Structure 1
Amino acid sequence: MIKVADYNTLTISRALDFGVYLDDGAEGILLPRKYIPEGKNIGDEIKVFIYHDSEDRLIATTEIPKAKVGEFAYLEVVSVTQQGAFLDWGLTKDLFVPKSKQITGMRVGGHYMVYLYIDEQTGRVAATEKVEYFLSNEDLSVKVHDSVQLLVLRRTDIGYVCIINHRHTGVLHHNEIYRNIKVGDTFNGFIKAIREDKIDLAAGKKGMERVEDEAGKILRLLEENNGYLPYYDKSDPEEIYDFFGMSKKTFKMTIGTLYKQRKIELTQTGIRLIP
């Protein structure tokens, strides 16, 4: 069964001058020639994204959209009509947001957080700005320390509300943020705590996984700077973040690990690579 506005793996059933048809159990779905991967022939399988073209026919592409059905995305409006707005979602045909699914009215050039769904009447993909309806923390699919994908939804006084794995919401507190972020940003994080009223988040990887990643970065930067860097445990947190892209806490944990492994030595003014 074909999943519209989603990825499908289909077999090439026949070839024509303008493209190939993929087997859908019926008349076939066209994959235009410009999207056919090199070396693919009749009988081969191809992973494609299926959606409706401007003539309301199902069509395949190997382009990668910015979101699929059941996901959230922060997209730009490219045109507005009396019926609704059209968003750039990375494909040839723009994504439609009915006027009834907008909150305050969309404008060209503006960016909006939307949720992609299949319209029951037309069977076509559409989007809605009323995203809160599709987010819930009642039946959690995550637990403490789980690695998750985060999408920044909005800024609050205590931090940023983020969408977790396109299903739940949590809060990334200001003291857990060590770089500039904004609505629409996506990055990896993990579940720090689950409370009755909210989920607390942290960016990056947890514990030693984060330290192991950052250790490689510090060693590389030392090698690129003649084996010495003027940063140590008393350096300013902002200076550490500006140079290394990590919090001071992570920096201290990482250089501590590298010191125990005898890969660096600590001086009164910085860290030095041990040959």
Structure 2
Amino acid sequence: MHRHVALLTDFGLEDPYVGQMKGALAMHGPCVPVVDLCHHVAPYNTLQAGFILRASYAHFPPGTVFVNVVDPGVGGDRRIVILEALDRFFLAPDNGLLTMMLDASPSCRAHSVDMSHFPRASCTFHGRDIFAPLAVRLALGAAPDVLAQAIDPAGLVRLDNAQAKATPYGAMAHVAHVDRFGNCLLNMDIATWEEKLASTRTLRMGNGPAFRLATTYASLNPGEVGFIAGSQGVMELAMGQASAAERLNLSLGDTLNLHFDSGGIS
């Protein structure tokens, strides 16, 4: 059985880029199953891409080859790497996109692709001309050692805003994703922060209004913003049938200084 290939890009669906990538995958491996993870990452946004990848990988079968093409440095001197982690393969530019996967898998292995093996590749579309044929070879069972040179994962580029940071008053977090419902998903991993939040009744953004911890969207009153442990493995600011992003004037990448409060809303 062939491994699945999962595609994560910032290409959108208005242009032929996704179709051309899928065409290249079909040319090299017509029997390889291909799944679209997401093609609406904000252009060039490696934090959002890394978050979506981290939130999604466990819902795919072991052995899946994740092809991650959010690549503002395409054609430059950035490396293309293959990361072996958590029983899966992650093909990506070395631009920080893999930071959260590196944090999740300290025992991972990494390889750097020899670009000279692709002399005819377009300088502006490595997704089609390099990532796609590499992904097919991995999906058909080729070992990364055959395709690329082993490197130390510690040398891979990391984002400095991939994880929320503890502060004396609570946390400094970032909006890693805003979904189509207006929920603001933060870079606060539930497992990491659940102990700190156990004694917290409400949170505040700076000196702003307090938000209570809630368990579901339906438990929030009309017009109320809540802090929820969401389905994507992170904490999120959300409203019931309304946009927390609009209510709080928050956008992708924004920094939040959160104050934890053991008292009630005041």
Structure in which a larger fraction of residues adopt strand: 1
Q: Which has the higher contact order (CA 8 A, sep 6+)?
A: 2
What interval of TM-score do these two structures reach, taking the shorter chain for normalisation? under 0.3
TM normalised by structure 2 equals: 0.25
| Structure number with larger C-alpha Rg | 1
Structure in which a larger fraction of residues adopt helix: 2
